[in-house]
Structure 1
Amino acid sequence: MADVEIRMTGPIFDGRAARAMAEACRDARDSIAEFGEEYALALMGAAFRHPTGYYESNVKTTVVSADTALVDDGGVVYGAWLEGVGSRNSPVTRFPGYIHWRRTKALVAARGPAIAEVAVRRHLPEMG
């Protein structure tokens, strides 16, 4: 009878690949959230007619879970009115809203996969 010894080495077996992938996921989440926050603020800066700075100062990114980050206005009471989804928007008044969050959501959905791919590619050398 012969003994056979099998040794498995490398990033997959010693945990380096898993750690690199977890870091790539965090990097992708943070990069996408940063893009969303910057884009929303840029839209607000370009559209708001009489900005006070208060609303924009409340726009923040919160990490909700390992794979989720939330960009929002922190619940500012007139945020829905600015977006155009409040009870005091058109047709009640002439103000239709700026739709900055809906535009941001659509752009993040469209560009998110490309942003995530860049983040993952940055971490590929650590996996191999």
Structure 2
Amino acid sequence: MADVDVTLTGPLFDGRADKVVDSAVDEAAEALAEVGRDAVRAVIGRKAKRSTGRFASRTRVDRRGDVFRTHTPGLRYGAWLEGTSRRNQRSTFKGHRPYREAAQEVQARLPQVADQVIGQAIKEIG
């Protein structure tokens, strides 16, 4: 009877591909969070008639563990601008919805960002 030995080599089998994929996932998540941040700033810039720039300038991307998030810390009127506070229910101002529109922009750009990051990862893996 004949024996056959199979040796598996290369980036898929030695751990290099795992590192590249992990890095690509982080890169894509951060890029999408930045898309969200930029979209929030654009919505406020486009819709707010008398903006001081404070909300847009404080909107940022942070990382907590494996999660990147776009948020505006330290501003109590964020819910009001979004249109989700109790004050919006009683007033004619129903909000600019910057985070809702930003989420839609992130969804729309996700395939493009993923294609770009995955393409780069494939080149790195070889």
Q: TM-score, normalised by structure 2?
A: 0.87
Residue in structure 1 matched with residue 122 of structure 2 by the alignment: 124
TM-superposed CA distance for 1:22, in Å, is 1.1
Taking the aligned partners of 2:68 and 2:28, their CA distance within structure 1 comes to: 10
Taking the aligned partners of 1:4 and 1:32, their CA distance within structure 2 comes to: 47
Residue in structure 2 matched with residue 76 of structure 1 by the alignment: 75
1:32-72 CA-partner distances (Å, limit 9, x unpaired): 11111111111111111111122122211111233x21101
Taking the aligned partners of 2:113 and 2:3, their CA distance within structure 1 comes to: 50
SS of residue paired to 1:9: coil
Matched ranges for 1:44-59 at <5 A: 44-59=44-59
Matched ranges for 1:1-128 at <5 A: 6-66=6-66, 68-90=67-89, 92-128=90-126
TM-superposed CA distance for 1:111, in Å, is 2.2
Can you give the 5+ residue segments of structure 2 that lack an aligned partner in the other structure?
A: none
Flag as ranges the 4+ runs of structure 1 deviating above 4 A. 1-6
Taking the aligned partners of 1:80 and 1:18, their CA distance within structure 2 comes to: 40
Identity value in percent = 33
Aligned alpha-carbon RMSD (Å): 2.0
Which fold has the larger relative contact order, with Cα–Cα distance below 8 Å and residues 6 or more apart in sequence? 1
SS of residue paired to 2:86: coil
Q: How many residues align?
A: 126
Q: TM-score, normalised by structure 1?
A: 0.86
